[in-house]
Amino acid sequence: MLRRIVVPLAAIAMLAGGATVAEAAPGQSDNLARTATATASYTSSWESVAAVNDGIDPATSNDTVNRRWGTWPNTGEQWVLLTWSAAQTLKAADVYFFDDNGGVRTPGSWRLQSWNGSSYVDVAGATGYPTAANQYNAVNFTAVSTTRLRLVLQSGAASVGVLELRAYATAIGQSSGNWNPPAGLVTPLNQVWQHVEQTYPNLYGFRNYGWDQVFANRGSINYCVRWDSSAPVSAALRDQIHASLARQFKKWMDVMAGHNGWPYQNVPLKVVGWAVRDRATLQWSDNSVDVYVNNIRENAPQCSEPCGRFFNVSGNYPNCPGGASHHYDMSLWLTAGMNGGAGGDWGQRVGSEYFVGAVNNDNIHILLHEIGHSFGLDDFYDWTPTGVGGFLMKAGSATSITEFDAWMLRDWWRHLKSRYGY
């Protein structure tokens, strides 16, 4: 199972020291918003903007007991602003939206801005802006020192409102920030990391791991399929392939959910395109994915390079037809007649017959192994860490993600997370 991460020979950037992390999810006791003054773009006469930082955790988004902030009947862009008398260092916030199933609904989108002394600027490095009802919606961002934090809402189905807005100096994690593997795995995990550091001198300088891709998208991943086969693909098979790929990718991401400050409960996967030699091989006429015909690279169909993360590691896609939303982070390269697989920052390659034959399987183990490589995990052809038996990344010794595989993935996060501000 060839590991083929293409590592540019750049200077080695070693990270100094360990990052300090929040030991637990912050709550009202850490909430800096309590000492701020709240104002808003507009407030309905029967509502109160002071609701947003009064320290009352709502029971539901349709709170009929406590005071609320809402903008009915106004829609479009609305904002609520926290102002402090002295600068605060802010690194995270969470929002409980007001939604009465009528004139006030969860927003279509939102973002946070800080005041830089002359204007409002979007906070950097935001991990995502979820819009769920009946819960706090958390975002971590690059630490900023400011006297004002502005929550900018774009209305969706109706006017908008907020029941509580909290702001913190530390990142919000889903659980303890401690690295706490089972005792028997500590030694083999440290052996693995030492081996990785010795084998890949540019380990900390490389910027296109799956980790970098997920963060660049604020918690999602896009794929393009390279169909290097003359076998026809119906719309139904296409959809099965998409669903199957998403299920396999999710198995790795589920390992991270709630672990050591990892900010994403889910990492949605979207297939945005297919590449093929002959358009007639793809037996659908809808335009649900981009189709690239006869763009041959490496003797195989290739999706548009201006849309590919591998070719645009900066994360900008100025020449991608359709724009950045049509970009792909990884390729699922399916090759007729291929045995085994390969994986790296560019994606994964497995046999097309193998993948289609396993499309409904719970574990497509070669693909799982190759996705592991895309997140940096190594092969174990010539050595085995102390005290561990079969595991997925030791090819041929397991057919699903084992506890050791899971902890190796988490160990990559432990060592890389500081680059994302965690």
Q: Footprint of Zn ion on this chain (CB under 5 A)?
A: 1, 379
What distances in angstroms separate CA 9 from CA 6, 12, 201, 204, 229, one per listed residue? 9, 9, 9, 12, 34
First to last CA, the chain: 32
Q: Which CB atom, from 202 or from 397, has the smaller least distance to Zn ion?
A: 397
- The minimum distance between CB 2 and Zn ion, in angstroms, equals 6
Contact (CB, 8 A) for 246 and 225 = no
- Separation CA 122–CA 114 (nearest Å): 6
- The minimum distance between CB 374 and Zn ion, in angstroms, equals 11
Q: Which CB atom, from 315 or from 340, has the smaller least distance to Zn ion?
A: 340
Specify the DSSP element, H or E, that contains 227. strand 221-228
Query: Closest by alpha carbon to 270, among 239, 295, 299, 301?
Result: 239
Q: Which CB atom, from 34 or from 195, has the smaller least distance to Zn ion?
A: 195
Q: Which CB atom, from 1 or from 255, has the smaller least distance to Zn ion?
A: 1
Contact (CB, 8 A) for 71 and 44 = yes
Q: Which CB atom, from 353 or from 379, has the smaller least distance to Zn ion?
A: 379
Contacts of 185 (CB under 8 A, 6+ apart): 388, 403, 404, 407
Q: Which CB atom, from 292 or from 375, has the smaller least distance to Zn ion?
A: 375
Contact (CB, 8 A) for 305 and 311 = yes
Q: Which CB atom, from 163 or from 366, has the smaller least distance to Zn ion?
A: 366
- The minimum distance between CB 338 and Zn ion, in angstroms, equals 14
Residue type at 106 in one-letter notation: T
Q: Minimal CB distance to Zn ion: which residue?
A: 1
- The minimum distance between CB 420 and Zn ion, in angstroms, equals 26
Contact (CB, 8 A) for 344 and 331 = no
Chain length of the chain: 422
- The minimum distance between CB 419 and Zn ion, in angstroms, equals 24
Beta strands 161-168; 136-154: pairing state: unpaired
- The minimum distance between CB 398 and Zn ion, in angstroms, equals 13
Q: Which CB atom, from 181 or from 344, has the smaller least distance to Zn ion?
A: 344
Query: Closest by alpha carbon to 391, among 127, 87, 60, 399?
Result: 399
Got the DSSP string for 272-285? EEEEES-GGGEE--
- Separation CA 388–CA 187 (nearest Å): 10
Q: Which CB atom, from 138 or from 393, has the smaller least distance to Zn ion?
A: 393
Distance, C-alpha 184 to centroid of its chain: 30
- The minimum distance between CB 366 and Zn ion, in angstroms, equals 9
- The minimum distance between CB 57 and Zn ion, in angstroms, equals 47
- The minimum distance between CB 207 and Zn ion, in angstroms, equals 22
Query: Closest by alpha carbon to 262, among 90, 91, 15, 22?
Result: 22
